[in-house]
Structure 1
Amino acid sequence: MRAPFTLPSSRLLVFRAENGDGVRVHTAEYEKQLDECRVLDALVIRDAAGTALPITRVLPHEVEFGGGAATLVFDGIGALSLGAPEPGWSAEWTTPDGRAHLRALDPALRFAVSADRAVTVAASDAHADAAARSARIWQDWFAKCPLVREDLQAMTAFCWWVLGANIVSLPALQGARPVVPSKIGYVGLWQWDAYFIAIGLSHGDPELAREQLDLAFRFPTPAGQLPDVVHEEGVLASSDDLPAADRDRLRRAGSAIADPNAPVPLTKPPLSAWALRRVLEAAPATAEIRDWARRQLATIRRSQDWWFACSDLDGDGMPEYAHPYSSGLDDSPIFDGPLPTTAPDLGAYLVLQDLELARFADEDEDLDAGIHRDRAARTLGKLLDLWDADRGVFLARAAGEPVASDAITGLMPLLTGALPEPVVDALVAAMDDPQRYGTPWGLPTVAASDPDFSATRMWRGPVWINTNTLVAEGLENSGHPDRARELRERTVALVIHGGGPHEYFNPLTGQKAPTATTAFGWSAALFVDLAVRLSR
């Protein structure tokens, strides 16, 4: 009910039916919700007397009915097998067109689903073999799950399952294994998500982790910009790739600084060098891996240069977000005003990225670290211009005008590790203040007393695992390792309390927000990462 029954690389999702009897089947598709991707509205097993068998157990490789009297398993990535050894039992199902179907189970039925969601049903005597193959796939995957502290192991295993379950195949990435944020709507490789997911994967499958970064870096524009998403039909890298309604909204958000009729690049925050560093730390640095990293660094450097060359729309030396999508925090109130938005989190990420690139350059005599350190220092100066000492907050600017919203973007400058001590002290105090970020279940994405705060609305108050993780790293970089560990402990406790790695959580109750996606990729990956770090 909180996560689909699925298989790595499969596009089929199985959920418990709303009435509790049987299951419903959907496909996983880019930017489509479950109701748009219906395959079977109800699939029920009935015994010889016509009684529906209840679901009694769900394992990664099979759904059991009637205490194991019948099972549902995957038969390859595009088919399901339903088997029951008892004579006289049957399967009943309803298709989205409202038609009801009834077939005998003797001993099994195979439901093959095509790309257009059409279903072909045939008798099968290979149910046991299909179940064994599916079980082996999951056994091999769980064998890679990192071992962590005992109180964190069960949730780590579930989060590791989420990462395996979210592996898909994409036509634009033939032969690749992207791990998507969720098979419910988020079927694509979002750049930012790929970074966080790679960090979690690195603790058990470093090769698959590197593959996520390789895919995220594979499609830069000629100018060096990395795309927002790699999806079914290519990439999303410009507002020209958006639906007409989205382009119209963007034009209405234009300003004297941003040409409302010009295409707007769509990307994600520059955390690629940080993600690369974290992934490399998880595996021995062989010559092959070092060569791979060197190739990725060339792409990352060009991407970093792109921000300063092409996304500094007012020419003041501080790049801006030209579109909310490029921030990863699409619905944050800092984007309620005209575009572009000068944001403290972007400034912090750019400083961190240049400092990481300088560290990589120090390890390679052919590269110049000074270029990156000098630019980081200049960007830090621009970032400090956003500090409002009277309010104790870093404020964003909308087309040059201050934005009053007290959002979590204002805590990200801690990542630089270079803020003046009074600024660090003020930000740490804000995390303890129940009127701001000291809510019962972690750091809300908008301060609790801010007029824009909502405990349940995306990016306007709920707690996200990635923002908690980044702030914890910022605390460590800024000389507060004990506070960093405390925030990490609170974050893993939140996921356990909330029942799984949801997309975002209510900061007042610690439960899943109503509109949040379940079994969410970066929440799962970062829980794994936090669990490993807390277990050392």
Structure 2
Amino acid sequence: MTERWMRLLQDFVRDHSAEMMREPSGILTHPYTVPSAPDSPYYSTTLWDWDSWFVSVVLGQVEADTGEPGRFAAYEEGVIRNFLAHTDADGVMPILLKPDGPMLHGDPSRAGGFSQNMHKPVIAQQAALLTRRKGSAEWIRDDLPVIERFLERYLESHVDAATGLAYWQTDFAVGVDNDPSVFYRPDRSCASIYLNSLLYRELLAYGSLLEDSGRASEANRWRGRAEDLADAVREHLWDERDGTFYSADLALRAIDEEDWLHSGAPRTWSSLLLRVDNWSSFLALWAGIATAEQAERMRERYLDRRTFRADYGVRTLSKLEKQYSLRASNNPSNWLGPVWGVSNYLVFRGLDKYGFADDARELAEETVALFGRDLDATGALHEFYHPDTGEPIMTKGFQNWNFLVLNLIAYLEGRPMVTEF
């Protein structure tokens, strides 16, 4: 059955990948990609941040499999150029763009105190991915100052001085929508392991772009900033007791030297671990932040069927957490336990990166089975799934990172697999 599903999925992804392409429209003056087919009720015209990054990973595999290098290059480049064109002088980049304008939540600008979230730190990674496929950074050289402004904005206004960790400004559009570590919590209180893992890879990707542009000394400076962040993650977000990375609570009252109640022994810690067992913890493996010993302990947690391990992949929240829920929801989408294609893929990448090849292969096979069964039964894929039965929960026709199953099939067949930077 697995072989048949692999053939079915390969044909489906290759045949439908072009449905995610869009021509210039309104403020989107460059061609771009969207997460789904034109008839999707949610995603048909909107350019999203981390979604478009994974679409590029998929498109690279389609090009490799079909022997058509550069087939989608204009759309992938257009994604980056559209976002850069709408990045302001202070480096604020929108989370998403629609033909009639960017969608903003509050005021993320300097006037607004940079108090809202912006584009996730993946734009340099997307550019580095395309540069690797093109073999040259010449196409992006003139735009590097805009990417640098964006990264400087993160480091200046989204990083906690006491810990060196990046934090979310609010719980709006944080990718893992209803992660209990962020959702409904106070503003600027969560140093998310998800965000810090992305930012670490983003800083490395920008260093790579600089080196490819002949700016080696600057590249090393940015790589140094990445390592500073990794050190902070290992110091503040690793929990030796539980053997995993967690997000951290930064919402501690400032130390008041005049406060008689605390003056004899003020706190010596700068954050508190938020012990919410979320799939995002495994991004420390994907990012390469974890030590080998930490990775071994995280593998043990991954294999525990009471928590994350399910018949169809990785529960997005441990089944032992009180917030665990498999209900259908949109805006926010539900990451409280359902299996998502992107979480399966990123955990797979982390396992493979640290040498857990058997576990990685098993997860890839389970993801093929999940999507193969769905495509067989419904003729489409869905946004997220029941982790134990594999039944789709909602959003028929969702494509986006589900199409990464094509990359997993290449891995299973021992062919070259296109990966993110």
TMscore range, shorter length: 0.7 to 0.9
Residue 172 of structure 1: aligned partner: 27
1:192 aligns with 2:50: yes
Q: Do 2:351 and 2:360's aligned partners in 1 also have CA atoms closer than 8 Å?
A: yes
**How many Å separate the matches in 1 of 2:348 and 2:119?**
20
Query: Residue 413 of structure 1 aligns to which amino acid in structure 2?
Result: A
Match of 1:412 among 266, 271, 283: 283
Shift, 1:426, TM fit? 1.3
Query: 2:105, 2:361 → 1: CA distance?
Result: 39
Q: Are residue 226 (structure 1) and residue 93 (structure 2) matched?
A: yes
Q: Is the 8 A contact 1:181 1:189 kept in 2?
A: no
Q: Counterparts in 2 of 1:274-293, with a 5 A limit?
A: 274-282=125-133, 284-285=134-135, 290-293=137-140
Cα deviation 1:268-289 (Å, max 9, x = unaligned) = 431233333333444x43xxx6
1:522 aligns with 2:400: yes
Q: 1:238·1:263 contact (CA, 8 Å) conserved in 2?
A: no
Mapped contact 2:137–2:209 kept (Cα < 8 A):
no
Which amino acid in the other structure matches residue 373 of structure 2?
A: H
1:224–1:303 Cα contact (<8 Å) kept: yes
Equivalent residue for 2:182, pick from 332, 335, 338? 335
* Contact kept? 1:319, 1:347, Cα under 8 Å: yes
Deviations 1:14-72, CA, capped at 9 Å, x for gaps? xxxxxxxxxxxxxxxxxxxxxxxxxxxxxxxxxxxxxxxxxxxxxxxxxxxxxxxxxxx
Alignment of 1:29-178 (within 5 A): 151-169=5-23, 170-174=25-29, 176-178=31-33
Quick one: distance in 2 between partners of 1:345 and 1:449? 20
Q: Distance in 2 between matches of 1:155 and 1:296?
A: 37
Contact 1:349 1:415 in 2 (8 A): no
* Alpha-carbon separation, structure 2, partners of 1:361 and 1:414: 25
| Counterpart for residue 300 of structure 1 | 147
Cα 1:184–1:167 shift into 2, 3 Å: farther
Q: Which has the larger strand fraction?
A: 1
Q: Partner of 2:374 in structure 1?
A: 498
How far apart, in 1, do the equivalents of 2:116 and 2:280 lie?
21
CA contact (8 A) 1:408 1:444 kept: yes
The separation in 2 between residues aligned to 1:504 and 1:525, in whole angstroms, is: 13
Q: Which has the higher contact order (CA 8 A, sep 6+)?
A: 2
Q: Could you tell me whether the CA contact under 8 Å between 2:21 and 2:31 is conserved in 1?
A: no
Counterparts of 2:150 and 2:114 in 1: how far apart (Å)? 18
Distance of aligned partners of 1:451 and 1:316 in 2 relative to their CA distance in 1, 3 Å threshold: same
Higher alpha-carbon Rg = 1
Any idea what SS the aligned residue of 1:335 has? coil
2:391 matched residue in structure 1: 511
Counterpart in 1 of 2:419?
Answer: none
Distance 1:307 1:277 in 2: 19
Secondary structure at the aligned position of 2:85 is classed as coil
* Residues 405 and 452 in structure 1, CA contact (< 8 A), matched pair in contact too: no
The amino acid across from 1:350 in the alignment is L
Using the alignment, how far apart are the partners of 1:323 and 1:162 within structure 2?
35
The correspondence of residues 353-432 of structure 1 with structure 2, limited to 5 A, is: 353-367=202-216, 368-384=218-234, 385-400=236-251, 401-432=272-303
CA distance in 1, matches of 2:29, 2:122: 26
* Amino acid across the alignment from 1:397: A
Question: What is the distance in 2 between the residues matched to 1:181 and 1:325?
Answer: 22
SS in 1 for 2:27: helix
Structure 1: how far apart are the matches of 2:145 and 2:353?
A: 26
Judged with a 3 Å threshold, the aligned counterparts in structure 2 of structure 1 residues 440 and 519 are, in CA distance, closer, same or farther, namely same
Measure the CA separation in 1 of the matches of 2:306 and 2:172: 28
Figure out how many residues of one structure are paired with residues of the other and give that number: 364
Name structure 1 gaps, 5 residues minimum: 1-148, 242-260
Report the counterpart of residue 448 of structure 1 in structure 2.
Answer: 319
Distance across 2 between alignment mates of 1:190 and 1:325: 14
CA distance in 2, matches of 1:480, 1:359: 27
In structure 2, the CA distance between the partners of 1:488 and 1:357, relative to structure 1 (3 Å rule), is farther
Give the conservation status (yes or no) of the 8 Å contact 2:245–2:281. yes
> 1:478 & 1:302 partners in 2: Cα distance?
33
Question: Please, what is the CA RMSD of the aligned residues?
Answer: 2.7
Secondary structure of 2:55's match? helix
- Please identify, of 213-222 and 446-455, the stretch whose mean Cα deviation from structure 2 is larger: 213-222
Greater CA drift, 419-428 or 495-504: 495-504
- Which moved further from structure 2: 175-184 or 520-529? 175-184
Per the TM alignment, residue 326 of structure 1 is displaced from its structure 2 partner at its CA by 4.2
- Matched residue, 2:84: 217
- Residue 373 of structure 1 aligns to which amino acid in structure 2? R
Q: Does 1:464 align with 2:330?
A: no
Residue 379 to residue 483, structure 1, CA distance change in 2 (3 Å):
same
Contact 1:219 1:226 survives alignment (8 Å): yes
Structure 1 contact 468–491 (Cα < 8 Å) conserved: yes
Report the Cα offset of residue 237 of structure 1: 4.2
Residue 478 in structure 1 maps to residue 354 in structure 2: yes
Decide whether aligned partners of structure 1 residues 294 and 326 sit closer, same or farther in structure 2, where only a CA change above 3 A counts.
farther
User: Mean Cα displacement is larger for which, 498-507 or 376-385?
Assistant: 498-507
1:473 deviates by: 2.0
Contact 1:416 1:478 in 2 (8 A): no
**1:280-306 Cα distance to aligned partner (Å, 9 max, x none):** 444x43xxx632133454433332222
What TM-score does the superposition give when structure 2 sets the normalisation length?
A: 0.78
Distance 2:151 2:404 in 1: 24
- Shift in Å, 1:498: 2.6
Distance 1:351 1:523, change over 3 A: closer
Q: Distance in 2 between matches of 1:521 and 1:297?
A: 30
